[in-house]
Structure 1
Amino acid sequence: MENIRVLELYSGIGGMHYALTESGVGAEVVAAVDVNTTANEIYKHNFPNTPLHPKTIEGMTLDDFNKLTFDMILMSPPCQPFTRIGLQGDISDPRTKSFLYILDLLPRLSKLPRFILLENVKGFETSSARESMVKTLIECGYNYQELLVSPTCLGMPNSRLRYFLIAKAPPGSFCFQTTPEIHEGFPLPAEEDVSGRSFPVSHSSASTTCPEEERRETQAEDAGVLYKLERIQDAERKSRQNRDESVRQIGDYLENHGGEEMEQYLLSHKTLLRYALLMDIVRPTCRRSVCFTKGYGHYVEGTGSVLQSCMETDMESAFRSLELLSDEEKLQQLSRLKLRYFTPREIANLMGFPKHFTFPKNISTKQQYRVLGNSLNVHVVARLIQLLVS
C-alpha cells in the first residue's frame, strides 16, 4: 500500500500527527490547517517539514481541498460549543461554522477520502452537529463507528473521556463488528482476516473497555466537585482506582528535576487558603488523575489534579480541623504537603506526547497549559488509527 496522504484539520500542537506516527501506518501529512498562532508556532517547531496553513478552514476553497488529493482526514473541531459546562451553543455557535463547512464540502470533493477520524468532547454525541455529520456520512456511503474512549483504557492514569468517530469510504469495512450504539472503549478486532493477515492490537495489557465509574467521574468533574468535602462513595471510588494495577502510577510520568526547579510550580499561599477544599490531590503512587483543561495553572477548580510532592506528610492530618485554624495556622499545616501543579512536560507525558515533543522557548507556561488542555491523548488516537486502517 502506498503512503496514505493525510489532511490534518484543526491541527493544534500536532497531537493527531504524533498519533499517526505512533500508529505505524504508512502515511504522510500533506497539509495541516489551524488558525491559532500559538499552536501553529509549536506545530512548526516540531514538524518543520509539514506544510502548515495558518488560516481558517472556510478560507480554503473546494479547489484548494481537491488539489491536496488526500486519503484521510484527521480533525478535532472546537469543543466549546458542545462541552457540558459551556453554553452548548451547538450549531448556532460561530465556532461550529468551519465544521459545517467541511460537511458541506465532503460530498462535493472530486474523490471521497477513504478514512475520517474525528475527536471531540463527551457531549458532542447529543449535538445537532453530530446529527449533521452522521447524515452526511450516510449519504456518502461511509461505514462508521462512534466511540467514547479514555486513556485509562490503555492503562494511563488520567481521565480524559472523549467522543471519537472513525469512518471508511465504500467499499471499506472495519476489522470489527460495527454497532449503531456508541461503543465504550476500544472494539476488539478480529484476530485475522480470511487471508491470514494479522491486525494490530493494543500494546497495553489494560482493559479495552472504559469503566462506567469513569463516566460518573467525568460528570462529577463537570458539575464541580468539592474534592475535600467529597462523599464517602467518591473517596471509595478513588481508592479503587488507585488499587487498579492495570493502570500505571503517576510517578512514571513525572520529571526528575530537583526541588528548586519545581518550586515555581508550588501552589501560592493565596491559592492554598482559598481552594484547599476544592482540589483533587494525587500522589506519585496514585493510579488516577482528573482531566487537565486549558485553564490549568490559572484556575484551580475542575481544571486538573495537583500533586502532593512531600510524601512524608499525611494528607488527612494536614486537612484535619482546618476550619478551626487561623489563616497562618492553615498555611503552616497545608504547606507541609508541598502541593504543586503538574509541569507542562508531565501533562504532555500523561497525554502520550513523545519525549522529543518540545515547546519553543518563547512560549510561556500559561500558554503551554492552554494548548495542552485543548489537545488530545496521542496513544488513544494512535490505537484508533490502527483500527481505522486495518
Structure 2
Amino acid sequence: MENLRVLELYSGIGGMHYALKESGIPAHVVAAVDINTTANEVYRHNFPDTPLWSKSIEGIPLDDFNKLSVDVILMSPPCQPFTRLGLQGDIRDLRTKSFLYILDLLPRLNRLPRFILLENVKGFESSSARDLLIKTLMEGGYRFEEIMVSPTSVGIPNSRLRYYLIAQLSTETFSIQACSKILDAFPHPAESDSSEQPTVVSPAHPGSSQLDKDTEEGHFLYKLETMAEVQRKKNQNNDLSVRLIQGFLEPQSERNMEQYLLPPKTLLRYAMVMDIVQPTCRRSTCFTKGYGRYVEGTGSVLQSCMETEMQSVFTGLDQLSDEEKLQRLMKLKLRYFTPREVASLMGFPQSFSFPEHIPTKQRYKVLGNSLNVMVVARLLRLLVS
C-alpha cells in the first residue's frame, strides 16, 4: 500500500497520531489542527516534524484543505455538547460549529478522503450531529460502521466507553458491512465474543452509582456500594483477557509518590464515594480532565499500601471521629495515578512524554480530553486492511 496522507483534526496531544503509528499502516500526518495551546505544546514536543496548525478549523478555507489532498481524516470533535453530564446542547452548542463546518466542507473537496475515523463520547450516537454526519457520508458515497467499545476489549484495565465511526468510500473494496445498528464489539467474527465487552456503568461518571442509595435492594457494604456494584467490579476483576493494573504502574519510591497521595481533607470528604483499586485489579474507571482536582467521578485512586485490608478500614468508619477516620484511611496510602500511569492506561507508548514545564494539573486535563490509542489503532487496521 502507498503512504497514505492523513489529516488529524482536533489533534490534542496526538492520540490519533500515536494510534496511526501503532497500527503499522504506511501513512504520514500532513497536518494536525487544534486550538488548545497546552495540547499543542505537548503535540509539538512529541511530533516536532508534523505541521501543526494552531487555528480554529472553521477559519481554514476550502482551498487550504484541497492543497493537502488527504486520503484519511481522523477526528475527535469536542464532546461537551453530547456528554451525559453536560447540557446536551448538541448542534445548538457553539462548540459544534467547527464540526458542522467540516460536514459542510467534505462534499465540496476536490478529492474526497478514502477513509474517515471519528471518536466521541457515549451520547453522540443519539445526537442530531451524528444524524448529519451519517447523511453527509451516505450522500458522499461512503460506507460506514458505528461501534461502542471500551479499552477493556483490547485488554487494558480501564473503562472508557466511547463511540467510534469508521467510514470508507464505497468505490473501494470494503470488507466492513455498513450496519444499521451500533456494535458493542469490534466487527470481526473471530474476535467479537461477549467476553470482550464487560458491562460498563456510565464510565463518564462512575461515582454516581455509589451515591445512589439503592433502597430497593437494601444492601450496603463498606463505602456506599450496592451489591450490584460490587458484583460488577468482581466480574471485571475476574476477566482474564484484561491485564493487571500493576503492569501500567511506574516504579515506586516513597519520595516520588508523596506528591500524589490524597490530602487529609480529600480523604475525609470523599472516602465513601472514591473508586479505589489495587495493583492486582483488572479494572479502573474513566479518567476525566478533572482528575487530580476533583475526586468523585473523575477516575480511580490506587491503594498503595497492601498490608492494610480495605474492609478493616471502612467497616464502621462512619461511627468514628474525623481524627480516627483519618488515622484509618491514611493506612491505605491512597494516591492518584501519575500522569504517566494515566497515559499508559490510555494506550500511549513509553516514548510519549510531556515538556518539563507543563504542570501536573494540565497534564491530567489534556489526558482526560484524549482517547485510547490501542482501541483506535485496532479500528484503523480494521478500516484500512
User: The TM-score by the shorter chain falls in which range?
Assistant: over 0.9
> Which runs of 5 or more residues in structure 1 are unaligned?
191-201
Map 1:293-308; keep pairs closer than 5 Å: 293-308=288-303
Please say if 1:362 is aligned against 2:357: yes
CA contact (8 A) 1:7 1:70 kept: yes
What is the alpha-carbon distance in structure 2 between the residues aligned to residue 361 and residue 212 of structure 1? Answer: 37
- The CA deviation at 1:223 is 4.1
Normalising by structure 1, we get a TM-score of 0.93
Identical amino acids, percent of aligned pairs: 67
CA distance in 2, matches of 1:261, 1:364: 15
Corresponding residue number in structure 2 for 1:91 = 91
Indicate conservation of the 8 Å contact 2:146/2:163, yes or no.
yes
2:347 and 2:356 map into 1 onto residues whose CA distance is 21
Q: Which moved more, 1:278-287 or 1:218-227?
A: 218-227
Q: Shift of residue 150 of structure 1?
A: 0.7
- 2:50 is aligned with 1:61: no
Indicate conservation of the 8 Å contact 2:145/2:176, yes or no: no
CA RMSD, 1 decimal = 1.6
Paired residues, what number? 375
Q: TM-score, normalised by structure 2?
A: 0.94
Counterpart amino acid of residue 68 in structure 1: L
In structure 2, what is the equivalent of residue 149 of structure 1? 149
Structure 2 residues without counterparts, runs of 5 or longer: 212-221
The match for 1:221 among 192, 197, 206 is: 206
1:311 aligns to what?
A: 306
Indicate which of 322, 333, 338 corresponds to 1:343.
Answer: 338
Out of 240, 249, 270, the residue aligned to residue 245 of structure 1 is 240
Q: CA deviation at 1:145?
A: 0.5
Could you tell me how far apart the structure 2 residues matched to 1:371 and 1:114 are? 29
- TM-superposed CA distance for 1:72, in Å, is 0.4
SS at match of 2:223: helix
SS in 2 for 1:229: coil
- Which of 315, 323, 333 aligns to 1:320? It is 315
How far apart, in 2, do the equivalents of 1:42 and 1:109 lie? 30
Q: Would you say 1:211 and 2:197 are equivalent positions?
A: yes
Aligned 8 A contact 1:189 1:387 in 2: no
8 Å Cα contact 2:151/2:159 also seen in 1: yes
Q: Deviations over 1:258-315 (max 9, x none)?
A: 1111010000000000000010000000000000000000000000000000000000
Contact 2:291 2:365 in 1 (8 A): yes
- With over 3 angstroms needed to count, the CA separation of the structure-2 counterparts of 1:224 and 1:234, relative to structure 1, is closer
Deviations 1:32-72 (Å, cap 9, x if unpaired)?
00000000000000000000000000110000100001110
Q: What is the one-letter code of the residue matched to 1:334? A: L
> Which aligned segments of 4 or more residues in structure 1 are displaced greater than 4 angstroms?
206-210
Partner SS, residue 22 of structure 1:
helix
- Deviation of 1:209 after TM superposition, in Å, equals 6.1
Counterpart AA for 1:221: P
Match of residue 193 from structure 1: none
Counterpart CA distance in 2 for 1:247 and 1:139 is 40
Over 3 Å counting, the alpha-carbon distance change for 1:207 and 1:252 in structure 2 is farther
DSSP 3-state at the match of 1:5: strand
Query: Pairwise mapping of residues 99-178 of structure 1 onto structure 2 (< 5 A)?
Result: 99-178=99-178
SS in 1 for 2:279: coil
- Taking structure 1 as reference, are residues 106 and 189 closer, same or farther at Cα in structure 2, changes over 3 Å only? farther
CA distance in 2, matches of 1:244, 1:212: 8
SS in 2 for 1:117: strand
